[in-house]
Amino acid sequence: MNFELRRFELADAAAQKGDALIVLVPKAFQPGDTALGQLIAGAIKSGDLETKAGKLLQLYKVDGVSCTRLVLAGCDQGSSRQVRQAVAAATGVLKSAAVKRVVLCFGWGAPADAVHAAVMAAADASYVYTTSKSKPEGRTLTQWVIGVADMVAARPSFDHAVAAVHGVEFAKEWGNRPANYATPTQLAEAARSLAKAPQIGCEVLGPRQVEKLGMGAFMAVARGSEEELRFIVLRYSGAAKSVAPTVLVGKGISFDTGGISIKPAGEMDEMKFDMCGAASVLGVFRALGELKPKINVIGLIPSCENMPDGRAVKPGDVVTSMSGQTVEILNTDAEGRLILCDALTYAERFHPAAVIDIATLTGACVIALGAVRSGLFSTADTLAAELQAAGEAVQDLCWRMPLDDDYAEGLKSNFADVANVGGRPAGSVTAAKFLQRFAEKFPWAHLDIAGTAWKGGAAKGATGRPVPLLLKYLLEQANKAAATAPARKTAGPRKSA
């Protein structure tokens, strides 16, 4: 899909060519003296158009309006959330028609974050998955023209949003693919394809190299599958080598049957989404390659299937992790933490500024926070606050959860240094406490995206979250670095004091 930023306001919107014109109408709408402005003011006055976010009025072949269809979308106060609701609703009604080119216009002097929200929502609501369909009916709404009053002011957030869309769609594509279209090997190929961007490098380790590294916990999970494991290492180099990188670690279980502690059949298909953490890391790299911020980022993806088999790891087996800590695997369905713990130990070699892992880790997190906010766990208050703020800014929300040591009580084992499960209460917290043991050497945050990475039911599909949150966080790190960097030397001799 293609987004174009153009300089026009409501006064010129009627002249824009396209299949549909969407006008976002705030509560405090100022009609001005154009015919379109007067039409909108009249529709509000008569009660045919409500300005509550999500309310629509659809019109067809309106005199003086070049676009065939006109959708007026209530936008209330014009907050990011309301812009998203309005654009999603308007896109939804246009999706069925023969609409390719959509012109979007703000009915007020929309700020930069409204532009970001509009672009993200337009892409989200018009997305169509096609890969494993025999007669793909692709996306119809493919061309978007976004009108703003001030191109210079809107440009950075527009570019950021377009790159975020590409990242989100990359993450959705890999998340949505069935497990037989997204094996660990295929995920590694997807990562390699990202390395076409000049700042991105990719290295893929297989079973022999992973064994040599001593990743006994990761290997234990992979044992039950015919599919070979992969450990993917992505590097984005946007700053000097001396700049400490941020490391992103994504859970890449391409399918989670539970292993010998097998899951019930109902909705087990949704465990193809158990690599959405990995997909979000791929999506972020996709966007980084486009935006080229001046930071360094490492992406680590441990990827395998969790299957029951004659060779599969059994409840009670003890394995030795790369850190040297031994782990009693009491439940083979708590496999995410087993592959992540070795990836966290691997992260130490980069002397990272921060490590953020992203994982569809626990059903308990779905119970705690539902589909609205991802669970955020962190040993570093600044990092936690920055991640939370990034999420708020781009409406990809998370919420901080506790890490009190008392929550680790249940992880005690009589036969190893630690057990991989700690009972049902506070299940998302005990999972995080397990990971924390492997993340003591750097500032660390863990995002449990079990409730937010995909939707079930009729709208079943990956959401691409938390790509927007992570990307916003990383761009803010780049801004921070630019603000504190020493002033560049100017030509000629410097005055000495």
Which residues does the annotation mark as catalytic?
A: 263, 337
256 binds Mn ion (CB under 5 A): yes
Residue 220 binds which entry of Mn ion, Zn ion, ligand BES, none, CB below 5-8 Å type-dependent: none
Closer by beta carbon to ligand BES, 173 or else 305: 305
**Pair 255, 179: CB distance under 8 Å:** yes
Among 19, 76, 305, 333, binds Mn ion (CB under 5 A): 333
Number of other CB atoms surrounding residue 320 within 10 Å: 17
Closer by beta carbon to Mn ion, 335 or else 396: 335
Residue found by looking up tokens 């995080």 in the block: 432
CA distances from 173 to 131, 162, 280, 450 (A): 8, 16, 11, 17
**DSSP secondary structure string for all residues of 320-389:** E-TTS-EEEES-TT--HHHHHHHHHHHHGGG--SEEEEEE---HHHHHHHTTTSEEEEES-HHHHHHHHH
Chain centroid, CA 164 distance in Å: 9
Distance in Å, CB of 255 to ligand BES, minimum: 10
**Pair 373, 449: CB distance under 8 Å:** no
> What is the C-alpha to C-alpha distance for residues 261 and 303, in angstroms, rounded to an integer?
19
> What is the C-alpha to C-alpha distance for residues 101 and 387, in angstroms, rounded to an integer?
35
**Pair 318, 415: CB distance under 8 Å:** yes
Cα–Cα nearest to 73, from 95, 93, 51, 92: 51
305 binds Mn ion (CB under 5 A): no
Distance in Å, CB of 376 to ligand BES, minimum: 16
> What is the C-alpha to C-alpha distance for residues 319 and 90, in angstroms, rounded to an integer?
53
Closer by beta carbon to ligand BES, 102 or else 450: 450
305 binds Zn ion (CB under 5 A): no
Closer by beta carbon to Mn ion, 340 or else 474: 340
Among 76, 227, 274, 328, binds Zn ion (CB under 5 A): 274
Distance in Å, CB of 278 to ligand BES, minimum: 12
Residue 362 binds which entry of Mn ion, Zn ion, ligand BES, none, CB below 5-8 Å type-dependent: ligand BES
> What is the C-alpha to C-alpha distance for residues 128 and 92, in angstroms, rounded to an integer?
12
Residue 450 binds which entry of Mn ion, Zn ion, ligand BES, none, CB below 5-8 Å type-dependent: ligand BES
Residue at 235: amino acid letter: R
Closer by beta carbon to ligand BES, 143 or else 331: 331
Distance in Å, CB of 326 to Mn ion, minimum: 20
Give the pairing of strands 56-60 and 230-237. unpaired
Q: Quick one: which segment of 96-104, 196-204, 229-237, 255-263 binds Mn ion (CB under 5 A)?
A: 255-263
> What is the C-alpha to C-alpha distance for residues 497 and 494, in angstroms, rounded to an integer?
10
Site string for Zn ion, 52-91 (x = CB under 5 A): ----------------------------------------
> What is the C-alpha to C-alpha distance for residues 186 and 193, in angstroms, rounded to an integer?
10
256 binds Zn ion (CB under 5 A): yes
Output phi, psi for 373, to 5 deg: -120, 140
124 binds Zn ion (CB under 5 A): no
What residues line the site for ligand BES (CB under 6 A)? 256, 274, 331, 333-336, 360-364, 366, 421, 427, 450
- The conformation of residue 114, written as its DSSP 8-state character, comes to H
Residue at 191: amino acid letter: A
Closer by beta carbon to Mn ion, 230 or else 251: 251
Residue 237 binds which entry of Zn ion, Mn ion, ligand BES, none, CB below 5-8 Å type-dependent: none
Give the pairing of strands 354-359 and 296-306. unpaired
Distance in Å, CB of 274 to Zn ion, minimum: 4
Closer by beta carbon to Mn ion, 125 or else 330: 330
Distance in Å, CB of 253 to Zn ion, minimum: 5
Positions that interact with Zn ion (CB under 5 A): 253, 256, 274, 336
Positions that interact with Mn ion (CB under 5 A): 256, 333, 335
